[in-house]
Amino acid sequence: MTILFKLAWRNLWRNRRRSLIILVAIVVGVVSLLFIEGLVNGQLKQLLENQIGTHIGHLQIHAKGFQDDRTIQHLIPDKKRVESALRSLPEVVAYSPRIISFGLVSSASASSGVTMLGVDPLLESRVSMIAHSMTSGEYLAGEPRSIVIGERMAEKLGVEVGDKIVLMASALDGHVGSDAFRVTGLFKTPDSEFDRSYVQVGMESAQSMLGVSDSVSEFAVVLQSADMAAAVKSSVGSALGESYEVFTYGELIPMMIMMIEVTRESMGIYYVIIGLATIFGIINVLLMAVFERIREFGVVMAMGMRSAQVFRLILLEAFLLGVLGAAAGVLVGLLVFWPVSIQGLDLGASAEAMSSIGMGSIIYPFLTWADILKNILFVPVVSLLAAVYPAWKATRLEPVRAIRYV
Partner 1 sequence: MEIIKTEQLVKTYADHGVPVHALRGINLSIERGEFIAIAGPSGSGKTTLLNCIGALDRPTTGRVCVNEQDIDLLDNSERARLRLHKMGFVFQAYNLIPVLTALENIEFKMMLLGKSEGERHELAMRSMKELGIADLAHKKPQDMSGGQQQRVAIARAIVNEPPIVLADEPTANLDTENALILIDLMREMGRTKNVTFVFSTHDPRVLERVQRIIFLRDGNIADP
Return the number of the residue (230 or 302) whose C-beta is nearest partner 1: 302
The span from the CA of 55 to the CA of 371, in Å, is: 30
Min separation Cβ 6 and partner 1, Å: 7
Taking the least distance from each CB to partner 1, the nearer of 13 and 280 is: 13
Instruction: Specify the stretch interacting with partner 1 by CB under 8 A; choose among 10-18, 188-196, 316-324, 381-389.
Output: 10-18
Task: Kindly state whether residue 291 participates in binding partner 1, applying the rule CB under 8 A.
Answer: no
Euclidean distance between CA atoms 177 and 281, whole angstroms: 71
- The answer to whether 307 contacts partner 1 (rule: CB under 8 A) is yes
Minimum distance from residue 24 beta carbon to partner 1 (Å): 22
Tell me how far, at minimum, the Cβ of 398 lies from partner 1, in Å. 8
Q: How far is CA 32 from CA 228, 332, 336, in A?
A: 33, 11, 10
User: Is residue 306 near partner 1 by the rule CB under 8 A?
Assistant: yes
Output 175 or 404, the one with its CB closest to partner 1. 404
Q: Burial level of 55, CB count in 10 A (0-12/13-18/19+)?
A: buried
Number of amino acids touching partner 1 (CB under 8 A): 23
Q: Is 18 in the site for partner 1 (CB under 8 A)?
A: no
Report how far apart, in Å, the C-alpha atoms of 159 and of each of 108, 194, 327, 358, 362 are.
9, 18, 57, 24, 28
Residues 167 and 199 sit within 8 Å (Cβ to Cβ): yes
Among left, alpha and beta (phi > 0; psi -120 to 50; other), residue 336 is alpha
Q: Does 305 bind partner 1 (CB under 8 A)?
A: yes
Which among 62, 65, 64, 59 is positioned nearest to 79, based on CA atoms?
62
Query: Of 4, 180, 276, 377, which one interacts with partner 1 (CB under 8 A)?
Result: 4
296 binds partner 1, rule: CB under 8 A? yes
Instruction: Show the binding pattern over residues 375-404: x = contacts partner 1 (CB under 8 A), - = does not.
Output: ------------------------xx--x-
Binding status of residue 20 toward partner 1 by CB under 8 A:
no
In the complex with partner 1, the residue whose CB is nearer, 342 or 406, is: 406
Which lies closer to partner 1 via its Cβ, residue 126 or residue 401? 401
Find the binding residues for partner 1 in span 21-50 (CB under 8 A): none
Q: Say if residues 286 and 314 touch (Cβ distance below 8 Å).
A: yes
405 part of the interface to partner 1, by CB under 8 A: no
| Given 255, 303, 342, 349, the residue binding partner 1 (CB under 8 A) | 303
CA–CA distance, 101 with 123 (Å, rounded to integer): 19
Rounded distance, CA 370 to CA 317, Å?
Answer: 26
Does 10 help bind partner 1 (rule: CB under 8 A)?
Answer: yes
Residue number, 255 or 406, with CB nearest to partner 1: 406
Indicate the residue among 267 and 300 with the shorter CB distance to partner 1. Answer: 300
Cβ distance to partner 1 smaller for residue 45 or 295: 295
Q: What residues make contact with partner 1 under the rule CB under 8 A?
A: 2-4, 6-7, 10-11, 14, 295-296, 299-307, 309, 399-400, 403
